């Protein structure tokens, strides 16, 4: 299962684990990389020292390439960008902004830069500033989302740029991976599927919420604020959407979700916490190791598109 993405990143399979805040820490990243994919540490809004510590811990668990996802709106983004270089991280993915001001520093250090994009315009801009590849993420994804679905976003981004595209959003099994390749992607990124793996350090309540989820359990909060976030429905989501409909202020809505993701992931509060998950949540019914999950994806994909010429 070799594509340009496996060559660029030095990995066995073109499967990347999403850099999810509070979820994507060193144990999960190392397990994914050891299983042949690319594990990511999610820097989110964490300070640089935490990221440095996570990178060093991941190196103790794997000698395979892994990366760091930087949320560019983080107050610590400048310091984390330097940690990437200082600690010899091989790959960085970016979200919530443009990484242009760090590009020269990263490229000189040999870091592969893969921005996450939700539009053709941003994809073109990222290619111009030197991105090595792109993650085109559809609205089916969990957490912060754009408007276009994976089905329509991926082929448009593929047609608009000359660099390799990784599809994300709504991919849960080999059918989704095969579909992504048919749309022109050369790799896939999954988030929700890795949340429910054995190595994921999230609270069992969070994992169980995903495993028990039905097809109609996905909700989007924050559309009125311009910052839509996909979560599983619970008391918090219900109250948030009700307040949105009543015209609550941005500040009031922000207060409702403050620390909500941490409460769900770490404390297991899946009632008033923010249970971020993609629309694919209902497709996960068991806890597998990262190795089992990746092998399942590869086997299913191979069975579907072997001989189609999409990868060697």
- What secondary structure does DSSP assign to 94-138, as a single string? EESS--HHHHHHHHHTT-EEEEEESSHHHHHHHHHTT-SEEEEE-
Burial code (b: 16+ CB inside 10 Å, e: under 16) for 86-114 equals ebebbbbbbbeeebbebbeebeeeebbbb
Least confident of 10-14, 35-39, 293-297, 305-309: 305-309
CA distances from 135 to 43, 180, 287, 301 (A): 17, 12, 26, 19
3-state class (DSSP) for residue 68? strand
CATH no., domain 4-200+283-305:
3.20.20.70
- Tell whether the model's pLDDT for residue 310 goes beyond 60: no
Q: Please give the structure tokens belonging to residue 243.
A: 């307040």
Answer yes or no: are the C-beta atoms of 74 and 43 closer than 8 Å: yes
- For the chain, the structural domain boundaries read 4-200+283-305, 214-267
Return phi, psi of residue 34, to 5°: -65, -25
Tell me if the pTM is above 0.85.
yes
Residue 21 is predicted with a pLDDT of 85
Q: How far is residue 297's CA from residue 290's CA, in Å, rounded to a whole number?
A: 11
- Answer yes or no: is pLDDT of 122 > 80: yes
Q: What is the DSSP string of 192-228?
A: HHHHTSTT--S-HHHHHHHHT--TT-EEEE-GGGT--
The mean pLDDT of 286-293, rounded to a whole number, is 96
Distance of alpha carbon 95 from alpha carbon 239, whole angstroms:
28
Question: Looking at residue 285, what is its pLDDT?
Answer: 95
**Residue 101, pLDDT above cutoff 80:** yes
SS3 237: helix
> Residue 251 — very low, low, confident or very high, per pLDDT cuts 50/70/90?
confident
The pLDDT tens digits for 190-233 are 999 999 999 999 999 999 999 999 999 999 998 888 889 999 99
Starting at the edge strand that comes first in sequence, how are the strands of the sheet with 143-144 ordered? 143-144, 229-232, 218-221
pLDDT-wise least confident of 31-45, 183-197, 245-259: 245-259
């Amino acid at each position: 299962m070799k594509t340009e993405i496996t060559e660029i990143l030095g990995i066995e399979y073109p499967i990347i684990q999403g850099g999810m805040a509070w979820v994507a820490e060193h144990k999960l990243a190392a397990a994914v990389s050891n299983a042949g994919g690319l594990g990511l540490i999610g820097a989110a809004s964490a300070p640089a020292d935490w990221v440095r510590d996570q990178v060093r811990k991941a190196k103790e668990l794997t000698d395979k390439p892994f990366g760091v996802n930087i949320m560019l709106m983080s107050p610590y983004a400048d310091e984390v960008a330097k940690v990437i270089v200082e600690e010899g991280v091989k790959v960085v993915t970016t979200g919530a902004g443009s990484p242009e001001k760090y590009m020269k520093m990263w490229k000189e250090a040999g870091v592969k830069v893969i921005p996450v994009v939700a539009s053709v315009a941003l994809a073109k801009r990222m290619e111009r500033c030197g991105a090595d590849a792109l993650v085109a993420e559809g609205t089916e994804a969990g957490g912060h989302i754009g408007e276009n679905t994976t089905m329509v976003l991926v082929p448009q981004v593929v047609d608009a740029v000359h660099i390799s595209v990784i599809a994300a959003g709504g991919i849960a099994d080999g059918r989704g991976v095969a579909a992504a390749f048919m749309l022109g992607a050369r790799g896939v990124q999954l988030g929700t599927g890795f949340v429910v793996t054995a190595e994921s350090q999230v609270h069992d309540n969070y994992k169980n919420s995903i495993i028990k989820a039905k097809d109609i359990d996905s909700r989007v909060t924050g559309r009125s604020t311009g910052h839509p976030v996909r979560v599983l429905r619970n008391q918090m989501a219900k109250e948030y959407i009700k307040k949105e409909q009543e015209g609550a202020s941005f500040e009031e809505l922000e207060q409702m979700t403050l620390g909500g993701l941490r409460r769900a992931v770490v404390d297991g509060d899946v009632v008033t916490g923010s249970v971020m998950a993609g629309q694919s949540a209902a497709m996960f019914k068991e806890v597998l190791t990262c190795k089992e999950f990746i092998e399942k994806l590869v086997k299913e994909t191979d069975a579907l598109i072997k001989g189609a010429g999409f990868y060697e």
